[in-house]
């Protein structure tokens, strides 16, 4: 066990997580260290220099616990152990030490809604009588119908079909049903039982003692179910998107629980190398689409971050994205928090494919990345996003996602975004493993040689180079503590612009036509090469606006920023001033110079355009 350090270290004026960039590692698809074709902790530790060079502040590693893998490792048999195929306790400690040595904080997944059906608790429950304490750790109920042959209510599984499975009684006859909001192999825990609460406090302490700096809380919105487990009614999944409160979503009892976890994180002693108490972070994965309700998860004394899925799920449309940004920022500001932005994850179709595929999808994914990374608040980057990887069509016989079977082979699930990362070389497995390509976790496409980390690292026009430049500029442009982005643009949504900070403006052209820039604006970074002084369609640029001095070094008119100093540079804290641009562009198209967009003062107040 590591030695602990003082718990009295003063908290920094600016929390490290407030505007952090966190890189998500899906370990079985990241890097293989032992040559068995499956990514592992040793392989991940050996490749962490890539994350550090990218410019991330932290890593979030998805479940590495023992699991039958019915749902990609989110069906956990032991919450305080390491899966044998991923390594040992020593390998986990080495991963954490390597990350901390590179200046990266470490977040891990906490999965509190359910366990694996192989968990000792669930096996004990199956062997116990109805009404026993062992069964009450889960949600067992008697079925409806004359002989209990129907599920206890109408709740649906996230993977399709009823959220209930019937088990035999101890005497072998028909028995009770148990609830699983996900796969049948993932029985839901009963969070109204004190022993469940106590066990997860033990789990939190265990990993804090091992040096982790925070937790991503899996499906944080589903832990508590409404008393009596009432029917939800038809169209449940659609109701989630329409913000209807369901009896298994977003219940009031969640918030006292999260406040108790926050107190634990803020007071439990820290081992050497980890962030001290008061600086640890929790991020909610909560499918809560009403902004004001999502903001409750990050209200004072609860979590610090909550993924903004509304941003991820928005189409490539300026009007809709602007509205999402405005609503999200306003709701989070009301509770003193910042938005946590995300474009992809191990659960989402990759942006290149989502935005249309091919060159159009790649161009839009580049533009979306610069837009997201300019927004104040934390940002999460999923492995391969920085390489512009597309979604992969995994052969039917290699699919693992439970959605494939539960949907009767109608939905392919999420495996296409979980294909191993390509590191180097002309052919699969592209440095991911020393095992043959056909023995690796998922098959990689034959045309990924130009998408490897090595190939893109040598290409100044690559997606990887764009991410590295953006994260470097972002670090050198700290956002005033109370700054608020004020998106501007025409009613048709053809362009959207906002100030990240005084003197640093982000402009995205969603329209079909090039968008002229003001002569006095200086281009720091562009997602695609400019057409002279015009921004092409599906392109984002970061601008140093006229009238305000910043500490950026740049090349005016270039799509690439000049080399920057090693130490973060502060931008001016004075009010952003806007310049009067030349007349409107040809054909009367709305122009997007600095004069057309409001600026921000250091206090976050909007200043009228000149």
Closest CA relative to residue 125, chosen from 39, 44, 189: 189
Is there a contact between 449 and 427 (Cβ–Cβ < 8 Å)? yes
Is there a contact between 602 and 571 (Cβ–Cβ < 8 Å)? no
How far is C-alpha 163 from the chain's CA centre? 26
381 strand-pairing partners: 23
Catalytic residue among 19, 176, 218, 499: 218
Report the distance separating Cα 99 and Cα 47, nearest Å: 10
Question: Collapsing DSSP states into helix, strand and coil, what is residue 346?
Answer: coil
Continuous H helices in 334-401 = 351-354, 358-374
Strand order across the beta sheet in which 281-284 lies:
305-306, 281-284, 214-217, 105-110, 58-61, 21-25, 378-382, 340-342
Angle between helices 194-209 and 254-267 (to 10 degrees): 30
Q: Is the bond preceding 143 in cis, omega lying within 30 degrees of 0?
A: no
Neighbours of 528 (CB within 10 A): 22
Report the distance separating Cα 273 and Cα 535, nearest Å: 45
Judged on CB neighbours under 10 Å (0-12, 13-18, 19+), 148 is middle
218 is an active site residue: yes
Report the distance separating Cα 498 and Cα 322, nearest Å: 10
At 15, list the tokens: 């929390």
Dmax (CA) of the chain: 85
254 DSSP assignment: H
How far is C-alpha 201 from the chain's CA centre? 24
Judged on CB neighbours under 10 Å (0-12, 13-18, 19+), 566 is exposed
Backbone angles phi, psi at 279, to 5 degrees: -115, 0
381 DSSP assignment: E
9 is an active site residue: no
Backbone angles phi, psi at 365, to 5 degrees: -65, -40
Q: How far is CA 406 from CA 183, 294, 398, in A?
A: 8, 29, 16
Report the distance separating Cα 143 and Cα 466, nearest Å: 56
Neighbours of 133 (CB within 10 A): 11
Q: Which helix (H) or strand (E) is 606 found in, with range?
A: strand 606-607
Closest CA relative to residue 502, chosen from 516, 482, 518: 482
Q: Which helix (H) or strand (E) is 107 found in, with range?
A: strand 105-110
| Sequence-separated (6 or more) residues with CB below 8 Å from residue 347 | 414, 417
Catalytic residue among 71, 285, 415, 476: 285
Neighbours of 446 (CB within 10 A): 9
Query: Torsion-angle region of residue 365: left (phi > 0), alpha (psi -120 to 50) or beta?
Result: alpha
| Sequence-separated (6 or more) residues with CB below 8 Å from residue 373 | 21, 379, 470, 471, 474
Q: Which residues are catalytic?
A: 218, 285
């Amino acid at each position: 066990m590591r030695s602990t350090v003082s718990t009295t270290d003063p908290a920094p004026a600016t929390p490290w997580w407030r505007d952090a960039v966190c890189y998500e590692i899906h370990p079985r698809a990241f890097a293989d260290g032992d040559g068995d074709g499956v990514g592992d902790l040793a392989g991940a530790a050996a490749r962490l220099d890539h994350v550090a060079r990218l410019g991330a502040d932290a890593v979030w590693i998805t479940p590495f616990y023992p699991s039958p893998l019915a749902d990609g490792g989110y069906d956990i048999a032991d919450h305080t152990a390491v899966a044998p195929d991923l390594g040992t306790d020593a390998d986990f400690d080495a991963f954490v030490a390597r990350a901390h040595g590179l200046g990266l904080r470490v977040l891990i997944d906490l999965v509190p809604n359910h366990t694996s059906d192989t968990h000792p608790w669930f096996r004990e429950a199956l062997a116990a009588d109805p009404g026993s304490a062992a069964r009450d750790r889960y949600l067992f109920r008697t079925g409806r119908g004359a002989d209990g042959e129907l599920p206890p209510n109408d709740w649906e599984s996230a993977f399709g079909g009823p959220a209930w499975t019937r088990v035999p009684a101890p005497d072998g006859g028909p028995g009770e049903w148990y609830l699983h909001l996900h796969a049948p192999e993932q029985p839901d825990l009963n969070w109204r039982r004190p022993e469940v609460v106590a066990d997860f406090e033990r789990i939190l302490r265990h990993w804090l003692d091992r040096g982790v700096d925070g937790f991503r809380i899996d499906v944080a919105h589903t832990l508590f179910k409404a008393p009596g487990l009432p029917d939800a009614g038809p169209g449940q999944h659609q109701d989630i998107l329409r913000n209807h409160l369901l009896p298994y979503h977003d219940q009031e009892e969640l918030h006292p629980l999260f406040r108790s976890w926050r107190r634990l994180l803020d007071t439990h002693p820290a081992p050497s190398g980890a962030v001290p108490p008061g600086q640890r972070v929790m991020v909610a994965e909560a499918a809560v689409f009403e902004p004001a309700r999502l903001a409750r998860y990050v209200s004072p004394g609860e979590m610090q971050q909550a993924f903004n899925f509304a941003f991820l799920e928005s189409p490539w449309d300026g009007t809709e994205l602007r509205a999402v940004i405005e609503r999200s920022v306003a709701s989070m500001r009301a509770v003193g928090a910042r938005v946590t932005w995300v474009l992809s994850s191990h659960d989402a179709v990759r942006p290149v494919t989502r935005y249309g595929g091919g060159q159009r999808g790649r161009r839009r994914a580049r533009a979306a990345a610069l837009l997201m990374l300019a927004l104040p608040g934390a940002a999460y980057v999923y492995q391969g996003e920085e390489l512009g990887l597309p979604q992969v069509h995994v052969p039917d016989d290699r699919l693992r996602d439970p959605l494939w079977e539960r949907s009767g082979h109608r939905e392919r699930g999420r495996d296409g975004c979980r294909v191993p990362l390509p590191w180097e070389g002309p052919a699969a497995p592209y440095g991911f493993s020393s095992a043959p390509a056909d023995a690796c976790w998922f098959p990689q496409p034959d045309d990924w040689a130009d998408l490897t980390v090595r190939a893109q690292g040598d290409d100044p026009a690559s997606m990887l180079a764009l991410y590295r430049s953006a994260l470097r500029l972002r670090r050198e442009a700290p956002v005033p503590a109370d700054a608020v982005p004020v998106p501007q643009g025409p009613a048709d949504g053809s362009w959207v612009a906002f100030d990240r900070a005084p003197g640093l403006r982000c402009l995205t052209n969603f329209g079909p036509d090039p968008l002229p820039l003001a002569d006095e604006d200086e281009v720091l970074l562009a997602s695609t090469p400019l057409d002279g002084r015009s921004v092409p369609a599906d392109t984002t640029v970061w601008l140093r606006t006229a009238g305000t001095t910043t500490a950026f070094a740049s090349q005016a008119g270039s799509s690439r920023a000049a080399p920057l100093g090693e130490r973060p540079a502060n931008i001016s804290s004075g009010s952003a001033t806007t310049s009067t641009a030349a007349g409107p562009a040809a054909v009367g198209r709305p122009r997007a110079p600095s004069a057309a967009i409001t600026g921000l003062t250091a206090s976050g107040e909007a200043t009228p355009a000149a």
